[in-house]
């Protein structure tokens, strides 16, 4: 099997909530489909487009905004740069006018109600998250292309082998934790140093550094924005946002006027256990409330789990004196490699593996990153990742109403706390005595995913999704 090359910028993507696999992936698939047609000179010959959503994309599509995402993708809007405040007005206009400007260049008739088809009872064999674009051309020719959103914003076109970017010759090819450790032993490098050497195969080191700091900028802005936005989350569950109220309560009147002075105000409150715990929860709540509101977030490695890594990194910066570019770089690089191993050897898609594939993986990534930054050895870093995932094994994905809100938002707080605990356990342990390796737990997660009933894989057909009597307005 060919080695899959995954960059830090494949694992961490800037995008829009609420879901990487149900929102960002379909959005990118739509953009890619039109880009391919435009490259063949066929864009202006299109007269009609129908979108078919299969499996998990159909069953939780409304709650995850899949229909919104494909419309924005077909309109040529970029999830990295599109003003999230314009999402609702634009979608409202498309629905009202029944017109869509493909790639921002070619207008066609398009009625979302009629032209986006939710096939609730149909699923394609390759992956539960499948969508097909059916296009009619001016001469009557019909073209169909199928894409799979396989988790974390990765998209595979039918017939492709994987969704990673350009294949490159990496100095340190890695598919397993054991291989990663072997490279560390051979070179004497830390895990983040091994990752950086690989990233240089894609681009100059300075570009990677700038890109990582841009990832942190988006995370930081998301935490701050979410910690200062109150109200109710969209979707009909009438879930109240909690981060802003918690932020106000914890600060006890201490004043600030920007992110920097906010961090200083938080530190002035001390560092006792309950206070620190509350702030970690606040950071995670803030990100995932933004995610649930179609806000700008970073997949880490998914949108549903987007709050874990920012919360733990913000904890490190605020309470562990980690506010230095070099430390943040090490944190993000280390986390990305752990996420990459899980993607290669298991899955980061809840539709394939349940929530263990999202919160579990993000917790393992955060635990590893924090351990390296706190001075842990390479073996302790891998041990921390293993501990974090071991205690998420079997976690189901059962979003109420198909919305990335209950229990998803609170699960991010728990994943962040487990990551910190796993890191502390690893730092106080001798990895030579460990009975379970990271590779063993990755395999176990995949075995568990295969055994898990499909109703617990992002379908809202089981678990809390069917046992909580909440009625939503009809879409």
Residues 346 and 269 in one domain: yes
Residues 338 and 402 in one domain: yes
Beta-sheet strand order (sheet of 46-54): 116-119, 46-54, 129-137, 142-151, 154-157
Residue 168 located in a structural domain = no
Residue 171 located in a structural domain = no
Domain final residue pick, 157, 190, 205:
157
pTM listed for this prediction: 0.93
Is the CB of residue 103 less than 8 Å from the CB of residue 38?
Answer: yes
Residues 153 and 206 in one domain: no
**What is the rounded CA–CA span in Å between residue 324 and residue 49?**
49
**What is the rounded CA–CA span in Å between residue 64 and residue 75?**
19
pLDDT of residue 162: 58
Q: For residue 237, with 0-12 CB atoms within 10 Å meaning exposed, 13-18 middle and 19 or more buried, which class applies?
A: buried
3-state DSSP helix/strand/coil percent for the chain, to nearest 5? 55, 10, 35
Residue 270 located in a structural domain = yes
CATH number of the domain encompassing residue 152? 3.30.1330.90
Domain final residue pick, 157, 189, 223:
157
Q: Which distant-in-sequence residues (6+ apart) come within 8 Å of 429 by Cβ? A: 380, 383
pLDDT of residue 94: 97
Q: Where are the beta strands (DSSP E) in 69-111?
A: 99-102, 106-109
Three-class SS of residue 240? strand
Structure token pair of residue 220: 């930081």
Beta strands 46-54 and 116-119 are parallel
Sign of CA dihedral 115, 64, 10, 160: negative
Give the up-direction half-sphere exposure of residue 369: CA atoms within 13 A in the CB hemisphere.
35
**What is the rounded CA–CA span in Å between residue 304 and residue 339?**
15
Tracing tokens 């490190």 back to the chain, one arrives at: 316
Structure token pair of residue 99: 């017109």
What count of other Cβ atoms lies within 10 Å of the Cβ of residue 394? 17
pLDDT of residue 471: 61
Structure token pair of residue 109: 């008739």
Q: Going residue by residue through the chain, which has 475 residues, state the pLDDT in tens, using 9 for 90 and above.
A: 456 899 999 999 999 999 889 999 999 999 999 999 999 999 999 999 999 999 999 998 888 999 999 999 999 999 999 999 999 999 999 999 999 999 999 999 999 999 999 999 999 999 999 999 999 999 999 999 999 999 888 999 998 865 555 679 999 999 999 999 999 999 999 999 999 999 999 999 999 999 999 999 999 999 999 999 999 999 999 999 999 999 999 999 999 999 999 999 999 999 999 999 999 999 999 999 999 999 999 999 999 999 999 999 999 999 998 899 999 999 999 999 999 999 999 999 999 999 999 999 999 999 999 999 999 999 999 999 999 999 999 999 999 999 999 999 999 999 999 999 999 999 999 999 999 999 999 999 999 999 999 999 999 999 999 999 776 544 3
Q: Which distant-in-sequence residues (6+ apart) come within 8 Å of 71 by Cβ? A: 30, 90, 91, 94, 100, 110, 112, 116
pLDDT of residue 167: 76
Structure token pair of residue 269: 């409150």
Q: Which of 4, 34, 49, 21 is nearest to 162 (CA)?
A: 4
Residue 170 located in a structural domain = no
Residues 146 and 192 in one domain: no
**What is the rounded CA–CA span in Å between residue 271 and residue 363?**
22
Q: Which of 194, 218, 246, 230 is nearest to 8 (CA)?
A: 194
Provide the domain count of the chain.
2
Residues 138 and 257 in one domain: no
Three-class SS of residue 149? strand
Domain final residue pick, 99, 123, 157:
157
Residue 166 located in a structural domain = no
Q: Which of 398, 370, 394 is nearest to 455 (CA)?
A: 398
Structure token pair of residue 151: 């988790």
Is the CB of residue 295 less than 8 Å from the CB of residue 16?
Answer: yes
Residues 51 and 190 in one domain: no
Residue 164 located in a structural domain = no
Residue 37 located in a structural domain = yes
| Residue 94, domain extent | 8-157
Residues 181 and 133 in one domain: no
Residues 127 and 203 in one domain: no
What single DSSP character describes residue 202? Answer: T
Residues 152 and 184 in one domain: no
Residue 276 located in a structural domain = yes
Residues 260 and 128 in one domain: no
Residues 185 and 152 in one domain: no
Residues 139 and 253 in one domain: no
**What is the rounded CA–CA span in Å between residue 34 and residue 40?**
10
Q: Which distant-in-sequence residues (6+ apart) come within 8 Å of 463 by Cβ? A: 396, 398, 455, 456
């Amino acid at each position: 099997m060919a080695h899959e090359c995954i960059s830090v910028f494949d694992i961490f993507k800037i995008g829009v909530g609420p879901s990487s696999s149900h929102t960002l992936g379909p959005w990118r698939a739509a953009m890619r489909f039109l880009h391919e047609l435009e490259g063949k000179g066929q864009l202006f010959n299109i007269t009609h487009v129908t979108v078919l959503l299969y499996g998990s994309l159909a069953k939780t599509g409304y709650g995850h905004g899949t229909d919104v995402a494909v419309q924005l993708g077909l309109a040529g809007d970029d999830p990295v740069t599109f003003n999230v405040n314009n999402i609702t007005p634009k979608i409202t206009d498309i629905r009202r006018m029944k017109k869509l400007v493909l790639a921002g260049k070619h207008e066609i008739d398009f009625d979302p109600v009629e032209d986006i088809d939710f096939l609730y009872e149909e699923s394609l064999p390759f992956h539960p998250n499948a969508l097909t674009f059916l296009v009619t051309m001016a001469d009557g020719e019909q073209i169909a292309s199928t894409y799979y959103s396989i988790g974390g914003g990765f998209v595979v076109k039918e017939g492709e082998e994987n969704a990673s970017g350009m294949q490159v010759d990496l100095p340190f090819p890695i598919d397993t934790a054991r291989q990663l450790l072997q490279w560390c032993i051979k070179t004497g490098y830390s895990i983040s140093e091994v990752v950086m050497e690989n990233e240089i195969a894609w681009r100059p080191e300075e570009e990677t550094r700038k890109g990582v700091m841009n990832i942190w900028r988006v995370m930081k802005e998301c935490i701050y924005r979410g910690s200062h936005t109150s109200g109710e989350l969209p979707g009909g569950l009438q879930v109240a946002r909690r981060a802003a109220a918690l932020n106000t309560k914890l600060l006890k009147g201490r004043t600030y006027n920007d992110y920097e002075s906010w961090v200083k105000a938080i530190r002035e409150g001390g560092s006792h256990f309950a206070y620190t715990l509350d702030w970690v929860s606040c950071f995670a709540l803030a990100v995932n409330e933004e995610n649930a509101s179609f806000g700008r977030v970073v997949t880490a490695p998914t949108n549903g789990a987007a709050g874990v890594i920012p919360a733990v990194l913000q904890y490190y910066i605020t309470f562990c004196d980690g506010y230095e570019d070099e430390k943040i770089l090490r944190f993000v690089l280390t986390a990305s490699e752990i996420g990459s191993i899980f993607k290669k050897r298991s899955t980061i898609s809840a539709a394939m593996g349940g929530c263990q594939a999202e919160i579990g993986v993000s917790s393992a990534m955060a635990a590893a990153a924090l351990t390296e930054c706190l001075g842990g050895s390479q073996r302790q870093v891998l041990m921390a990742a293993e501990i974090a995932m071991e205690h998420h094994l079997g976690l189901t994905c059962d979003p109420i109403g198909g919305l990335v809100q209950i229990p998803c938002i609170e699960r991010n707080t728990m994943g962040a706390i487990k990551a910190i605990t796993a890191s502390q356990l690893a730092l106080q342990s001798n990895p030579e005595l460990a009975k379970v390796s990271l590779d063993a737990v990755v395999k176990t997660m995949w075995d568990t995913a295969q055994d898990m009933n499909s109703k617990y894989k992002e379908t809202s057909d089981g678990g809390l999704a069917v046992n909580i009597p909440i009625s939503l307005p009809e879409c």
